[in-house]
Amino acid sequence: MKRAKVNQNINLNDYNDIWVIGEQREGKIHPVTIELIGEAKKLAGEINKKVVVVVAGYEINEEVNKLLYYGVDKVIYLSNPLLKNFSTDGYSISISNLILERKPEIVLVGATSIGRDLGPRIAAKVGTGLVADCTMLSIDPEDKKLLQTRPAFGGNLMATIICPINRPQMATVRPGVMKKATHIDRPTGVVEVVAPAITEADIVAKVVKIMKSSKKTVDLTDAKIIVSGGRGVKGPEGFELIKALAEKLGGEVGASRACIDSGWIDSMHQIGQTGTTVRPEVYFACGISGAIQHLAGMSDSKYIVAINSDPAAPIFNVCDLGIVGDLKEVIPAMIEEIEKNKTFEI
């Protein structure tokens, strides 16, 4: 397949609309897509643009139609048997050629394992820049450019980046950061089916076999309850208490970066600026001091419960309920009370 050439003579006025690159896995739309739609609609309202979702796959018509119920103006469904399973070549070629043809002004991609692979390749193919792992997006009130904010220097400061010359303006956005789009009853958008002219020869790396790991996955972004441990747990054995409380509450286990760096728990549990951003119904911060890098990843939780032996810990400034005490005494007492009552609902 002949690759479309990048036009270096860009007229910014030729670019319109905000695109969300939808993600599907095994025929199901990934939740980050709904989060990106919500953010795209917010941005579109400020610059009077339409919101378009682009989804690549095959035989997923029902899932594609569901996206209309989140208030988008259009869904472009790239349908081809070669796109049924994700491939870097097939997806990046199909989407980048569509971008070069249709000229969206802004393109948003989820910062998932797939999005982090796909986003940079699309940006390179269309000749634009990409801001990775954004935690905030906004519109400059003066010139209407996209302001893309992300952690820098290990999360010690936040950098806001713009793309003043090239288009589209592209960003990958962390899952769990943006609020999901609201489901509506009467959609007005349309689905356009496009058949990309890709061939087997275009896809260098082939999917030979899909093998699922037997390792338990951690779903922090959709968890209603998260019990997190920090440096105050004082070692991997301290996480046994954290896991016990999470199990009693039907929640997930989280951790601060210090615990990950110390090797006390797997990195998939990390919450914060350089980890996962979460917004559960209840967040238990156990032995977590409340460093700004950690707060950035969980401060949007509906309720925050802090347990810390230091009454001056910054976490007490943001929590809804604070318990000053040794978590090795407090958590067993909590578990005992839960077992007595046998009920805990959110």
Binding residues for FAD: 231, 256-257, 270-274, 287-294, 308
> How much of the chain is helix, strand and coil, in % rounded to 5?
30, 25, 40
Cα–Cα distance for residue pair 119/130, rounded to 1 Å: 7
Annotated binding site: 231, 256-257, 270-274, 287-294, 308
Which pair of tokens denotes residue 211? 């093998």
Cα(141)–Cα(155) distance, integer angstroms:
26
> Residue 279 in contact with residue 220, Cβ under 8 Å?
no
Residue pair 74/18 in contact (Cβ under 8 Å)? The answer is: no
Q: How far apart are CA 289 and CA 275, in angstroms?
A: 17
Sign, Cα dihedral of 266, 268, 272, 274: positive
Alpha-carbon distance of 109 to 121, in angstroms, equals: 12
